[in-house]
Chain A
Amino acid sequence: MAMPSRLRFILAISLAVVLGGWLAYTSLGGALETYAGPTELEAGTTYRLNGLVAAGAPADAAVRAESAEGLRFTVVDKDDPDRRVPVLYRGSVPDQFKDGREVVVTGSMQRGTFVAQRDTMVTLCPSKFSDEPTEHTTGTPPT
């Protein structure tokens, strides 16, 4: 079953091309989501909304998100605090969620509110704390 090396080469290349094409196809045909800030949102498109949690987010966010009414909070643009959008979210809330945190939620606009899909909230890991105010305050637990 010895094969000339050129034939083998062509076979390997075409295999790689088929694989690559299949990948390109599946990635484009699959669920694609567009990253967006709070202002670029059109109804009917699924976005990954990225921004900061506006001041005034409820302290009992995790409980509300599991309730029938859901968790409501506002996302503001990272660079322009005037750009904001209200968000309705249900599902698990990461521990890191609080005012000023950077979050990503997946969902779409419905009548002026960004309605997130269940359990899609991601908070960005705050291993860097330095952009936050330094004074320590004591607060009440959220639960």
Chain B
Amino acid sequence: MSLAGRAALLLALAAAVYAIVMALGSMRRGRRGWIQSAERSVYGVFGLVTVAIVTLWAALLTDNFELRNVAEYSSSTLGSQFKISALWGSQAGSLLLWAWLFTGFAALAVFINRRRNRELMPVAIAVLMGIAIFFTGLLSFVTSPFETLAAIPAEGRGLNPLLQNHYMVIHPPLLYIGYVGLSIPFAFAIAALVTRRLDTAWLTAVRRWTIMSWLFLGAGTLLGARWAYEELGWGGYWAWDPVENAAFMPWLVATAFLHSVMVQERRGMLKVWNMVLVILTFSLALFGTFLTRSGIVASVHAFGESTLGPFFAAFIGVVLVGSLALLVTRLPLLRSQNSLESYISREAIFLFNNLLLVGLAFAIFWGTVFPIISEAARGSRITVGQGYYNQVAVPIGIALLVLTGVGPLIPWRKASPGELRRRFEVPVAAAIAGGILLWAFTDVWSNWAAAGVCTAGIFVTFCVGGEFWRGTKVRRALGNVTWPGALGSMVARNRRRYGGYIVHLGVVVLFVGLAGSSTFASEADLALRPGQSGTVAGYTVTADGFERGRTEHVATVSSRLLITDGDGDEVATMTPAVNFYFADQQRSTEVAIDSSPTRDIYVVLAGLSEDGVARVSVFVNPLVMWLWVAGIIMLIGGGIAAWPGMPALRREPAEEGAAEAQRARP
């Protein structure tokens, strides 16, 4: 089995080299036919890596403990779905997953473009296969997933209990799909630079790839946050850990690119900037993998192996230096076709949004690598606390939130003062009224950031909601359709635009959830005998009893807690527990969460002493549920924007023209 896996990876490496030779060779006169051979080898590389990953999955499912990665990350008692996910429990296995998803995407990109972008494809294939060589090379010569053990153990060590839950089955593949998808835009950007075909063809080819990767990266990050929230038992979901940042940074830069690309399409500006963003996004995706795998900065996720660090650092260096050097040689071809006419225009708003997003990404990068820099400069590893990140991210975040409302309402090129007043009078009035109501009836204003988020959120909701309202009105006026019919057909015909607006609404919900849960959370640590009670944020927690259980594999203690609100009404019965797995001497806390739209009650059992005193930490986290709701809204919006369907996209400018004309004459 080991042999089959290793052979498949080596053959994949050879096929990737062959594909590069044939693809680049096909650019010479009279050798056009070679490209077909190159394309087939790309499919072949994917096939071979598939053989490798299926081999490893088969080994995991059949408990083949001869393989180190099976013996150390799986056991015969593990459920089948965790045997499958144990593949990415190990370093070599997760690299194999990376390589498999990547070669699959490369094959898909080649297939989609088999009749399109023919001039770009040879170089794009060469870049993609270059990346494939890096990963299959690592898997063949540095960290093989098919390493065998001299002595075959009778039983495996099992998967870390923290990883035995459904989020860990789905979260890493989602993140990887996001990371990997970002390499396709990179390959096309390099192909455009090399071939000097710097019109918008390459942008059209990569736009949907970017949206899709952006979606997966975002969904993966949010699921990771949810996993941390439900499994780790510290009451929070985000801690600016280097590995969290690793996924967040490329996501931010990809967000910037998704916006600035529109400026290039519409106005022929920001061409160099867009190239820089694509290169940066891909480099950050690699950097993310590097951070996770090298252990260069201490992180809860630091996987404690440094063998891969130098390889990744070198590869990132090659990618960054090579592509930026190439970009510099092509600068004369990337001149702007237009100049900025006004600072109050759609393109200027996109420019601000880009500066903020990239600035935030840079700030996070700075904080993440600060320990390395300080060690080099001053000899001691100094780390920035969470305070630093919050200090930077909160104001930038609120500014970005305001822009999600301003951007869609500002016309391209130039806005007249009268136009601005007409478009913004309702949202501004709503925000002021909302702010006053919040001040009168809630204590949101005790925290300026939370108040800013709420007021800005109302503003954005009215801005974006107004866009939906006006667009639907125009469509209804065009023919006899119902209101929902008009709304539906409007969204269907301008998927990218209205999908984007739905994402903006999701962002509002996300910010409200973030503001509520980060600024108004309460916590209390209670030691309760049966019958005793304590209070947290107006809720009374009463210990109702406890239970101890024991099976062959696991010992469990749990405490039953009765939660009542201020009026004495029962809210929930919660049973937080602690499991202790004998096999690997591993403790596992089972958090109890009672979710509602206004707040989560989150209870962690630290333990139960011999005399029956339960020590529990009780958190009341407002509005957490809205984070996950926001994720779903953004997923829907992004899905609508990315959904295939070229005719609708072609019609977009005309539709927009009609809507703008209507707005000009209200």
**Chain A positions near chain B (C-beta within 8 angstroms):** 1-3, 5, 8, 12, 15-16, 19-20, 23-24, 26-27, 30-36, 48, 50, 60, 62-63, 65-67, 92-98, 102, 104, 119, 122-131, 134, 136-143
Q: Are A92 and B234 in contact (CB under 8 A)?
A: yes
Interface 0/1 of B356-394, CB less than 8 Å to A: 000100110011001100000000111111011001100
Assuming A2-B341, A66-B527, A142-B580, is B160 touching A34 (CB within 8 A)? no
CB distance from A106 to the nearest CB of B (A): 8
A143 to B614 Cα, complex, angstroms: 10
Residue in A closest to B239 when the chains form the complex, CB atoms = A122
Chain B positions 334-349 with a Cβ under 8 Å from a chain A Cβ: 339-343
CB distance from B423 to the nearest CB of A (A): 18
> Quick one: which of A26, A98, A123 contacts B585, CB cutoff 8 A?
A98
A3 to B232 Cα, complex, angstroms: 53
Measured between beta carbons, the chain B residues less than 8 angstroms from A50 are: 298
Q: Are B233 and A95 in contact (CB under 8 A)?
A: yes
B588 part of interface (Cβ distance < 8 Å): yes
Assuming A67-B615, A95-B587, A95-B588, is B363 touching A125 (CB within 8 A)? no
> Quick one: which of A5, A104, A138 contacts B298, CB cutoff 8 A?
A104
CB distance from B353 to the nearest CB of A (A): 13
Q: Are B383 and A35 in contact (CB under 8 A)?
A: yes
> Quick one: which of A1, A31, A136 contacts B343, CB cutoff 8 A?
A1
B265 part of interface (Cβ distance < 8 Å): no
Q: Are A33 and B385 in contact (CB under 8 A)?
A: yes
9 pairs of residues in contact across A and B, judged by CB atoms under 8 Å: A1-B342, A2-B339, A27-B384, A34-B383, A35-B298, A62-B615, A66-B527, A125-B160, A142-B607
B660 part of interface (Cβ distance < 8 Å): no
Q: Are A127 and B585 in contact (CB under 8 A)?
A: no
Measured between beta carbons, the chain B residues less than 8 angstroms from A63 are: 606-609, 615
A19 to B399 Cα, complex, angstroms: 14
CB distance from A127 to the nearest CB of B (A): 5
CB distance from B70 to the nearest CB of A (A): 13
B162 part of interface (Cβ distance < 8 Å): yes
> Quick one: which of B160, B302, B385, B589 contacts A124, CB cutoff 8 A?
B302
A-B contact sample (18 more), CB < 8 A, given A67-B615, A124-B304, A127-B163: A1-B342, A2-B341, A30-B387, A30-B388, A35-B298, A50-B298, A60-B607, A66-B617, A92-B235, A95-B161, A95-B587, A123-B300, A125-B301, A127-B160, A128-B90, A129-B160, A143-B580, A143-B607
A97 to B235 Cα, complex, angstroms: 18
CB distance from B610 to the nearest CB of A (A): 9
B72 part of interface (Cβ distance < 8 Å): yes
> Quick one: which of A92, A97, A136 contacts B617, CB cutoff 8 A?
A92
CB distance from A120 to the nearest CB of B (A): 10
B642 part of interface (Cβ distance < 8 Å): no
Q: Are A62 and B341 in contact (CB under 8 A)?
A: no
A23 to B661 Cα, complex, angstroms: 43
B473 part of interface (Cβ distance < 8 Å): no
Residue in A closest to B577 when the chains form the complex, CB atoms = A143
Assuming A50-B298, A143-B557, is B232 touching A129 (CB within 8 A)? no
Measured between beta carbons, the chain B residues less than 8 angstroms from A30 are: 384-385, 387-388, 391
CB distance from B524 to the nearest CB of A (A): 11
B447 part of interface (Cβ distance < 8 Å): no
A107 to B613 Cα, complex, angstroms: 29
Measured between beta carbons, the chain A residues less than 8 angstroms from B157 are: 129, 134
Name the prevailing secondary structure of the B interface residues: mixed
Q: Are B371 and A141 in contact (CB under 8 A)?
A: no
Assuming A32-B384, A134-B157, is B72 touching A129 (CB within 8 A)? yes
A123 to B363 Cα, complex, angstroms: 26
A66 to B367 Cα, complex, angstroms: 31
Among A8, A20, A94, A102: residue with most chain B CB under 10 A: A94
Q: Are A66 and B525 in contact (CB under 8 A)?
A: yes
Measured between beta carbons, the chain B residues less than 8 angstroms from A97 are: 587
A27 to B585 Cα, complex, angstroms: 40
B586 part of interface (Cβ distance < 8 Å): yes
B303 part of interface (Cβ distance < 8 Å): yes
CB distance from B565 to the nearest CB of A (A): 25
Q: Are B391 and A26 in contact (CB under 8 A)?
A: yes
B443 part of interface (Cβ distance < 8 Å): no
A60 to B610 Cα, complex, angstroms: 11
Measured between beta carbons, the chain A residues less than 8 angstroms from B233 are: 92, 94-95
Chain B positions 53-99 with a Cβ under 8 Å from a chain A Cβ: 72, 89-91
B16 part of interface (Cβ distance < 8 Å): no
Measured between beta carbons, the chain B residues less than 8 angstroms from A16 are: 355, 359
A27 to B385 Cα, complex, angstroms: 9
A2 to B344 Cα, complex, angstroms: 11
A142 to B581 Cα, complex, angstroms: 11
B111 part of interface (Cβ distance < 8 Å): no
Q: Are B582 and A62 in contact (CB under 8 A)?
A: no
> Quick one: which of B89, B153, B367, B604 contacts A27, CB cutoff 8 A?
B367
A34 to B158 Cα, complex, angstroms: 36
Measured between beta carbons, the chain B residues less than 8 angstroms from A96 are: 162, 586-587
A102 to B303 Cα, complex, angstroms: 11
B570 part of interface (Cβ distance < 8 Å): no
Q: Are A126 and B370 in contact (CB under 8 A)?
A: no
Measured between beta carbons, the chain B residues less than 8 angstroms from A127 are: 89-91, 160, 163, 303
Measured between beta carbons, the chain A residues less than 8 angstroms from B342 are: 1-2
B305 part of interface (Cβ distance < 8 Å): yes
Measured between beta carbons, the chain A residues less than 8 angstroms from B91 are: 127-128
A104 to B382 Cα, complex, angstroms: 14
B632 part of interface (Cβ distance < 8 Å): no
Measured between beta carbons, the chain A residues less than 8 angstroms from B388 are: 26-27, 30-31
Measured between beta carbons, the chain B residues less than 8 angstroms from A126 are: 160, 304
